[in-house]
């Protein structure tokens, strides 16, 4: 009977240790899930910004309001042409 009691106590101790370990693992997994969710949201926000920037570039809009506004104009320059006279 004493041996059975010792076995039961040992099993109870093992169950208690396993329960404690499982609770610790659950806490760790929940923290990781929360961290992963935060990372995913950050990544999703960044991807949305990149996609908006690409769409704005495709449509010719400025990427952000902080970029300088300027106009690019094509200037036609007229260079003198060689008329084969006065070679020197």
Give the pLDDT confidence score for residue 88 in this predicted structure: 67
First and final CA of the chain: distance in angstroms? 124
Size of the chain in residues: 88
pLDDT tens, position by position, for the chain (88 residues)? 888 999 999 999 999 999 999 999 999 999 999 999 999 999 999 999 888 888 888 776 554 555 556 677 777 878 778 777 877 6
CA distances from 46 to 34, 64, 68, 75, 83 (A): 18, 14, 22, 39, 59
Give the pLDDT confidence score for residue 63 in this predicted structure: 47
Query: The tokens of 62 are what?
Result: 């400025």
Domain residue extents for the chain: 1-61
């Amino acid at each position: 009977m004493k041996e059975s009691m010792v076995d039961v106590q040992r099993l109870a101790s093992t169950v208690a240790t396993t329960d404690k370990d499982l609770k610790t693992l659950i806490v760790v997994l929940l923290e990781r899930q929360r961290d992963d969710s935060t990372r995913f949201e950050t990544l999703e926000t960044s991807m949305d910004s990149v996609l908006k920037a690409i769409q704005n570039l495709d449509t010719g809009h400025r990427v952000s309001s902080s970029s300088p506004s300027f106009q690019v104009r094509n200037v036609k320059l007229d260079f003198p042409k060689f008329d084969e006279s006065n070679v020197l």
